[in-house]
Chain A
Amino acid sequence: MTSIEAHVQQPYKYGFVTDIESEVVPAGLNEDVIRLISAKKGEPEWMLAWRLKAYRNWLKMSEPHWPNVKYGPIDYQAISYYAAPKQKPKLDSLDQVDPKLVQTFEKLGIPIEEQKRLTGVAVDAVFDSVSVATTFQAELAKYGVIFMPISQAIREHADLVQQYVGTVVPYNDNFFAALNSAVFTDGSFVYVPKGVRCPLELSTYFRINASSTGQFERTLIIADEGSYVSYLEGCSAPMRDENQLHAAVVELVALDRATIKYSTIQNWYPGDEEGKGGIYNFVTKRGKCAGVNSKISWTQVETGSAITWKYPGCILQGDNSIGEFYSVAVTSRKQQADTGTKMIHLGKNTRSTIVSKGISAGRGQNTYRGLVKIMKGAEGARNYSQCDSMLIGDKCGAHTFPYIDVRNSTAIMEHEASTSKIGEDQIFYLRQRGLSAEDAVSMIVNGFCKEVFKELPMEFAVEATRLLGISLEGSVG
Chain B
Amino acid sequence: MPGHGTRDTGHALLEVKGLRVAVAGNEILKGVDLAIREGEVHAIMGPNGSGKSTLAQVLAGHPAYTVLAGSAKYEGKGLLSMKPEERARAGVFLAFQYPVEIRGITNSYFLRSALNALRRERGEPELDPIDFLQVLEQKLKAIGWDDSMMNRPVNEGFSGGEKKRNEILQLAVLEPRLAILDETDSGLDIDALKTVAHAVNQLRGPKRSFLIVTHYQRLLNHITPDVVHVLADGRIVKSGGPELAHELEAKGYDWLRDAAMVS
Contact = CB atoms under 8 A, between A and B. Distances in A.
Contact of B85 (A434, A447, A448): A434
A197 interface: no
Nearest to A440: B85
Interface stretch (A39-47, A61-69, A102-110, A469-477): A469-477
A448 B103 contact: yes
Interface residues of B, number: 39
Interface in B170-192: 170, 174
Given A443-B102, A476-B129, A432 B110 contact: no
A435 B85 contact: yes
A434 B174 contact: yes
Given A428-B63, A432-B60, A435-B114, A446 B133 contact: no
Nearest to A447: B104
Given A429-B96, A477-B108, A447 B114 contact: no
Contacts of B117: 433-436, 439
Interface string A433-477: 111110100011011111100000000000000000000011111
Nearest to A452: B104
Contact of B106 (A426, A444, A475): A475
Contacts of A434: 85, 88-89, 114, 117-118, 121, 174
A475 B109 CA distance: 5
A405 interface: no
Given A434-B88, A434-B117, A434-B118, A476 B151 contact: yes
Contacts of A428: 60-63, 84
B22 interface: no
Interface in B91-113: 93-94, 96, 98-100, 102-106, 108-110, 112-113
A35 interface: no
A443 B174 contact: no
Interface string A412-439: 0000000010011110111111111101
B106 A476 contact: yes
A358 to B, nearest CB: 14
Contacts of A443: 102, 105, 110, 113
B174 A447 contact: no
Contacts of B63: 424, 428
B156 to A, nearest CB: 9
Interface in B28-78: 60-64
Contacts of A429: 96, 99-100
Interface in B121-170: 121, 129, 132-133, 150-151, 153, 170
B198 interface: no
B11 interface: no
Nearest to A428: B62
B109 A473 contact: yes
Nearest to A451: B104
17 contacts: A423-B100, A426-B100, A428-B61, A430-B114, A431-B84, A432-B87, A434-B117, A435-B85, A435-B117, A436-B85, A437-B85, A439-B117, A443-B110, A450-B105, A475-B108, A476-B132, A477-B106
Q: Which 5 A-B pairs have the closest CB atoms?
A: A447-B104, A450-B104, A475-B109, A434-B117, A433-B114
Given A435-B114, A436-B117, 20 more contacts: A420-B103, A425-B100, A428-B60, A428-B61, A431-B83, A432-B84, A432-B96, A435-B113, A437-B85, A439-B113, A444-B102, A446-B104, A447-B153, A448-B103, A474-B109, A474-B129, A475-B106, A476-B112, A476-B132, A477-B150
Interface of B: 60-64, 83-85, 87-89, 93-94, 96, 98-100, 102-106, 108-110, 112-114, 117-118, 121, 129, 132-133, 150-151, 153, 170, 174
